[in-house]
Structure 1
Amino acid sequence: MSAVDAYPPTDPLPGTVLDGRYRVDVMIATGGMSAVYRGLDLRLDRPVALKVMDSRYAGDAQFLTRFQREARAVARLTDPGLVAVYDQGGGNVGGPPPFLVMELVEGGTLRELLRERGPMPPHAAAAVLGPVLGGLAAAHRAGLVHRDVKPENVLISDDGDVKIADFGLVRAVAEAKITSTSVILGTAAYLSPEQVSTGDADPRSDVYGAGILAFELLTGRTPFVGDSALAVAYQRMDNDVPTPSSVIAGVPAQFDDLVLRATARDPAARYADAREMGADLEAIVDELGLPPFRVPAPTDSAQHASASLPAPPPRTAAAAPAPRQPTRTLPRDDWPAEPQYESETGRFAGIDIEDFYWARQRARRTLLFWVVAVLTLTALIAAGAWTAGSNLNNLL
C-alpha cells in the first residue's frame, strides 16, 4: 500500500455515509484491490477503519459471496494479534462497493517501520513475530488461512500492539473473475512454492510467509530478488531460503534454524501450523534469554498523516426533484383570449397615410420630369446629327 492525499477531488467517498451508519472521513492508504479510510461509526460514536474494495468487484456475485463468508468467519475470531472485524456491507447494484468495517489501529504498518529503522535485532524480531504467529494460530484453529502474510498486512499501534489484518480477502479476490496485477506484485516475495505452482494454500503456506517475514525482520530484505514478480516467485521453486546469518552477522543459529524450517520447499518439512512455529519461537526466546521489547509504531506513517487532517464536510444528498404534476386540461371556452392589436386609423407605423400619398405623388412627378428630360435630350442629339449629315458635302 502507499499513502495518498486525503480525499482528492476525484474520490467520491469521503464525506459519505455507508449503509446509513459509517461515515467515511479520510483516506489512509490505497492498494491494487482496495482503499483504507479512517471513518466513524455514527451509531456507536466509535472510530473505525473502512476497507473499501475496488468498484469492479461489485458486479461479481462469486466474489461477493466469498467476501461475505470470509468476513463473517473472521469476525468470529478473537485474539490480541488479529485486527478485529466489526461489520461488512455494500456490493449491491447502485450502492457502495463492498467494504469491511474494522478496528482502527492508530499507528502504522510493519513495512513503514522497516523503512524507518531497517533490520531488527533478535529480541525485536521476536516481539513482532510472536503476536503475528499468535493471530495466525487462532485463524488456523478455526480452519482459516491468510494467504498473504507480509509487512503491509502487519499493523503496529502507538501502544506497541502488533496485529495482522486482511484475512480472507486474498482468497475472495483469487476466486473472483477479476485479477489484480498489484496483488501479485505485493505478494510475490512471500508466496510459498505450492502457491506459485498450483495456487493451493493451507496453514503451512502461512508458515512459509511467516518464515520470509522473519528473514526480512532480521536482515532488512527478502531472500529472493528478480526483474519481475514472476521471476521472484519462481526462484523459490528451485532455491532454498538462505540463513539470515549469511546475510547479516550476529544472527543466532536458533533463528537460522527457525527460518530454514519455516521456509522448507517441501510443505511436509515445515511447521504444521503457526501454533507449532510460535511454540518454537517461545523456546528460542527462553533459551537465549531475550528481553521483552515494546515494538515502536512508525513515526512517519500514512495513518498518522491521515489523523492530522480534518474530516471533510458531510455530503448532503441531492434534493429530490419536485413530483411531476399531471397535465391540466383546459376547455376551449376557458382559453385566454388572444391579445388584440388595435391599428391607428389613417396611420401606418406611426406615420399619417396622407403623408405617404403626397410622398408617392412627388416621386411620380420626379420620375416624369426625368423621363421628359431624357427624351428631349435624345431628340436634340438626333436632330443635330441629322443636320450635320445633310450638310456634310458642303463642309467638305
Structure 2
Amino acid sequence: MSSAEHWDVPGYTVTRELGAGGGGRVVLAVHERSGAPVAIKYLSEELRREVGFVARFRREARLLVELDNSHVVRLYEYLETARGAAIVMELVDGPTLRALLREQGATGPEAALAVLKGSLLGLAAAHATGLVHRDYKPENVLVTADGTSKLADFGIAVRAGEGGEAAGTPPYMAPEQWAGVPASPASDVYAATAVFFECLTGHRPYRATEHAVLRHLHQTAPVPVEEVPEPLRRLVERGMAKDPVSRPSGAAGFVAELEEAATAAYGPAWEERGRRRLAALAAALAATFPLNRVRPLEAGTSLFTTALRSLRSVRSKGFLLTAGAVLLVLTGGGIGAYALGSAGYGTPIGDPVVAATGPGTPVVPETAPEGTPETTPEETPAESPSAAPSQTPSHTPSHTPSPASPSGRPSATPSHTRTARPSASAPGSTGHPTPRPSRTPSPTPSTAALKVADLGVSGLTYKAGAGSGTVTVKTNGPGTVRLAVRFTADGTVKATRTLTLSGATTYTRTVSADLGRLCSGTWGMSVSTSPAAAGGAGEATAKVPACPTTVTAIKVGTLTVSSTGAAAASVTVTTDGTGPVTLTGRFAAASATGGTRTVNLSGATSYTRTLSYTFSSRPCGTVTITASTSPAASGGSAARSVTASCPASVSRVSVQNLSITGTTATATIAVTAGNTSAVRLNLTWLSGGERVSTQTYNLSGKTSYTVTASYTYSRWPCDSYAVTASTSPAAAGGASTITRQTDSCIK
C-alpha cells in the first residue's frame, strides 16, 4: 500500500495513476501553476522504513538537483513528511532507447550520432559538476517525440575519484570498471560509445553470458570496428580504447570529435536528419507514451542496484513490467521516469559477479543462431498474469470475465455469473458452441441516447515547451464519451490526445502535451467528442509568451592597440531571440591597469559591436580583451590577445669599471631599459682627452644589460685614458664617463 494513499503532493493535480507496485505508486499529474505534466512517485511505507534507502535517495536527489540540463531527466521536488514521501520529476513522454532498439533494431548512422551527442551533452553536464554516471546503457536513455535524447538514472553515480568497487552493467562497463578503479569520466565515454556501437549495428560490441568472459573481452579483445560504417570507426576506436588515457578525458571533449566526424561524413545537416529519424522511430511506439494512454496499467515499480557484488550478498527480487508500463526507476536512490515498450523479468545470474537485481539487468546469450536476434531478459516478453486462466479454462472459469459485465457492473443475466462452463471467449473452450441469446443484455427501451450537452476549453497555459488546458464535458447520462484533443501552434497540429470518459455526467480534465519550443505566435486546443457535442467542437487559443533569449555564440575579432594606449576590438554576438542581452568587454595588460566596457543589446538576433578602452599609460607586451554576455553564451566567454610593441626607453647607463693592461683598456657598462624594445649602446674611447675610437652594441629582449668592452690603443695613452657610454634613445640621466690618469709621455 502506498504511503500516500490519503495524501497528495501540494500544488499538483493528479490526472491518473500510471502504475503501482511494491515500491509505491506512480501518477501522472499537472503542476497547477505552470500546467506542466509531471510524474509523481509516492513511496511505499516499506521503502520509507528502510533508513539506508532513504539516505541514499536523499543524496541522489541532491546530486540530480545540480544537473539542470535539457539532456538530463530533471528532478523537481522531493518531499518527505510525517504522512508520506514523494518524488516529483520530469515526465519524459517517450520510449527508452532499449525499446527502440528492441522494436526497430539498428537506428542508422545519423540517428545513432544524434543519440550519442545528446547523451554526451547530458554526461558532460554531470562531469562538469564532478559526477560520474557509471551506468550508461540503453535503458537509461530516453527519446522524446521530437528525437531529443535524455539521460536518466544516476543511481550509482559517484564523485570522480570515488567508488573503488566494480560497478555498472557488464555489457557496457569499461575495462577499468571491472578492476574496481575509482570512477572517471572516461568510463562514461566508454559506455556511451558501446551503446553507440549497438545503435549502429543492432547488437553490443561483445556478447557473452558469463561475466568472466565479458570481463576478458572488454579488457583484452579488439573493438570490432569493422562492423560499423567506415567514417565512424575512428570515433568508436577512440571512445572504446582499453586505456582510459587514450580516450577523450570527458564527454565534452568527445562531442567536438563527434561533430567533426559526423559533418565530414554526412554533411552539416546530419543532426537534424538524425533527430527526425529518432522521432520517427519513437512515433512507432507512441501508444506506449504516458500522455497517450487512457487507463492506468498494472505496472510494477522497480527498486534495483546495478553495482557488481557477490551473489552471496544479494537477495534477488523479481519484478514484472507489463507492456508499455511507465517505470519510475529507483536505483539506490536514483530516479528515471520512462515508458517501457514490453514486459520482462530481471533475472540474476548465477555467477560471482552480479550486475543487477531487477529488470535493468542486461544479460546477453554467449552465442546466437545465425539470423536470430540476440535477446536479453529485458528484451524477452513475459506472459501477463491475465494469460494464465486461458490456458486451463476448464478449471478456472471464474478467471475469465464475462463480456456481459463491463466495468465490473452486474451482468444483465445473473445466471451466467455462476455457470461452471468457461467463457465463450476463452481459448480452447469445449462448452456449447452457440452462446445463449441472453448473454447480450437487451437495452432498456426507456434509456435515452447519450448526448453531450456542453463542451468547453479554458485555462490555456504554455510553459517550458508544454501546453495544457482544462476541458469540461457535460452529458445527459453516465455513458461512455470519447474525447479527442488537438494541440496546434500557428494553425499546425503539434500533438493529439484521446481520452475516454464514463460513469458521470460532468467531467473536468486537464490535458497537456509537449509542443516544443515556441517563442511567438499563437497556440491552441481544439476538442471534439463522440457522440458530438450539441454546440460542436470546443476551441481556445492563446498568445505564445516570448521566450527568454539565450546567447548561442560570441566571437571576438581583431584587437588593436594604438600608440596612445587605446585598445579596440569588434565582438559578434548571436542569439536565438530578440530579448535583451548585456555584452561586457574586459581589457587587461600586464604593464598597465585595465578596465571594462558594457553594451546593452536587443531587438535582433545578431549583433556586431566595437568595444574600446584607453589605458592610462601605453601598454606594452600582451594586451587581452575577454568578452562575455548576460545571459551567458552556451560556449562561455570569448577572448583575443595581441602583443603591443612600445617605444624603447633607457632610464640609466653607467660605466662601472675601467682598467688598462699594456695598451688594452677594458670597461664594464650597465644599461637599465624601460622595456624590452631594442636600444643601442655607444662607447667613445679617449686618450689624453682626445677621441681615438668608437664602438656600438645593439641590445634587446631585456630590461637590464651588463656589457664588457675592450679597446687596444695604438700606443700608450699619455696623461690619461677614458671611455664615455651613451645610449640611443638617450638615458634619462645622460651619458656616463670614467677617466683614468697615466704617466706623461716624454716629448
TM-score, normalized by the shorter chain, greater than 0.5 = yes
- TM-superposition CA deviations, 1:196-217 (whole Å, max 9, x none): 2216322111101111011101
- TM-superposition CA deviations, 1:143-178 (whole Å, max 9, x none): 1111111111111111222211123x1248xxxxxx
Task: From the superposition, tell whether residues 224 and 107 of structure 1 become closer, same or farther in structure 2 (CA, over 3 Å).
Answer: same
Q: Return the structure number with greater helix share.
A: 1
Moved more, 34-43 or 287-296: 34-43
Out of 248, 251, 256, the residue aligned to residue 274 of structure 1 is 251
Is contact 1:36–1:52 with CA below 8 Å preserved after alignment?
A: yes
> Higher relative contact order at CA 8 Å, sep ≥6: structure 1 or structure 2?
1
Out of 254, 264, 286, the residue aligned to residue 287 of structure 1 is 264
Code of the residue aligned with 2:256 in structure 1: it is: A
| Match of residue 212 from structure 1 | 194
1:26 and 2:3 matched: no
Task: From the superposition, tell whether residues 12 and 55 of structure 1 become closer, same or farther in structure 2 (CA, over 3 Å).
Answer: closer
- State the shift of 1:226 in Å: 1.9
1:155 and 2:146 matched: no
TM-score (norm 1): 0.61
1:68 and 2:58 matched: yes
User: SS at the partner of 1:38?
Assistant: strand
| Match of residue 319 from structure 1 | none
Q: Over the residues paired in the alignment, what is the CA RMSD in angstroms?
A: 3.5
Task: Tell me, in whole angstroms, the C-alpha distance in 2 between the residues paired with 1:53 and 1:199.
Answer: 34
| Match of residue 183 from structure 2 | 201
Is contact 1:84–1:102 with CA below 8 Å preserved after alignment?
A: yes
| Match of residue 240 from structure 1 | 222
Task: Tell me, in whole angstroms, the C-alpha distance in 2 between the residues paired with 1:52 and 1:254.
Answer: 47
Task: Tell me, in whole angstroms, the C-alpha distance in 2 between the residues paired with 1:42 and 1:240.
Answer: 54
User: SS at the partner of 1:160?
Assistant: coil
Task: Tell me, in whole angstroms, the C-alpha distance in 2 between the residues paired with 1:230 and 1:33.
Answer: 32
| Match of residue 75 from structure 2 | 85
- TM-superposition CA deviations, 1:347-367 (whole Å, max 9, x none): xxxxxxxxxxxxxxxxxxxxx
User: SS at the partner of 1:107?
Assistant: coil
Kindly tell me the number of residue pairs found equivalent between the two proteins.
Answer: 282
Out of 200, 203, 228, the residue aligned to residue 221 of structure 1 is 203
User: SS at the partner of 2:284?
Assistant: coil
Code of the residue aligned with 1:84 in structure 2: it is: R
Task: From the superposition, tell whether residues 74 and 188 of structure 1 become closer, same or farther in structure 2 (CA, over 3 Å).
Answer: same
Moved more, 277-286 or 221-230: 221-230
Task: Tell me, in whole angstroms, the C-alpha distance in 2 between the residues paired with 1:55 and 1:94.
Answer: 10
Q: Return the structure number with greater strand share.
A: 2
Q: What runs of 5+ residues in structure 1 fail to find an aligned partner? A: 1-10, 173-183, 313-396
- State the shift of 1:140 in Å: 0.7
Alignment of 1:1-396 (within 5 A): 12=2, 17-20=7-10, 23=14, 25-27=16-18, 37-41=27-31, 45-50=35-40, 58-90=48-80, 95-96=84-85, 99-167=86-154, 169-171=155-157, 187-198=169-180, 200-229=182-211, 231-243=213-225, 245-246=226-227, 251-290=228-267, 291=270, 292-293=272-273, 294=276, 295-296=278-279, 297-300=282-285, 303-304=288-289, 307-310=292-295
Code of the residue aligned with 2:156 in structure 1: it is: V
Task: Tell me, in whole angstroms, the C-alpha distance in 2 between the residues paired with 1:154 and 1:45.
Answer: 25
- State the shift of 1:298 in Å: 4.8
- State the shift of 1:70 in Å: 2.9
Moved more, 11-20 or 227-236: 11-20
- State the shift of 1:127 in Å: 1.5
Q: What runs of 5+ residues in structure 2 fail to find an aligned partner? A: 159-166, 298-747
Task: Tell me, in whole angstroms, the C-alpha distance in 2 between the residues paired with 1:127 and 1:85.
Answer: 24
User: SS at the partner of 2:40?
Assistant: strand
Is contact 1:85–1:101 with CA below 8 Å preserved after alignment?
A: yes
Task: Tell me, in whole angstroms, the C-alpha distance in 2 between the residues paired with 1:220 and 1:49.
Answer: 31
Is contact 1:18–1:24 with CA below 8 Å preserved after alignment?
A: no
Code of the residue aligned with 2:109 in structure 1: it is: P
Code of the residue aligned with 1:288 in structure 2: it is: A
- State the shift of 1:258 in Å: 0.9
Task: Tell me, in whole angstroms, the C-alpha distance in 1 between the residues paired with 2:172 and 2:32.
Answer: 38
Task: Tell me, in whole angstroms, the C-alpha distance in 1 between the residues paired with 2:49 and 2:90.
Answer: 27
Task: Tell me, in whole angstroms, the C-alpha distance in 2 between the residues paired with 1:49 and 1:157.
Answer: 15
- State the shift of 1:238 in Å: 3.0
Is contact 2:96–2:138 with CA below 8 Å preserved after alignment?
A: yes
Over the matched positions of the two proteins, sequence identity in percent amounts to: 36
- State the shift of 1:126 in Å: 1.1
- State the shift of 1:310 in Å: 3.3
Is contact 2:143–2:150 with CA below 8 Å preserved after alignment?
A: yes
Task: Tell me, in whole angstroms, the C-alpha distance in 1 between the residues paired with 2:212 and 2:48.
Answer: 28
Task: From the superposition, tell whether residues 35 and 270 of structure 1 become closer, same or farther in structure 2 (CA, over 3 Å).
Answer: farther
- State the shift of 1:65 in Å: 3.3
Task: From the superposition, tell whether residues 305 and 143 of structure 1 become closer, same or farther in structure 2 (CA, over 3 Å).
Answer: closer
Is contact 1:26–1:309 with CA below 8 Å preserved after alignment?
A: no
TM-score (norm 2): 0.34
Code of the residue aligned with 2:96 in structure 1: it is: T
Code of the residue aligned with 1:308 in structure 2: it is: R
| Match of residue 373 from structure 1 | none
Task: From the superposition, tell whether residues 123 and 108 of structure 1 become closer, same or farther in structure 2 (CA, over 3 Å).
Answer: same
Code of the residue aligned with 1:219 in structure 2: it is: T
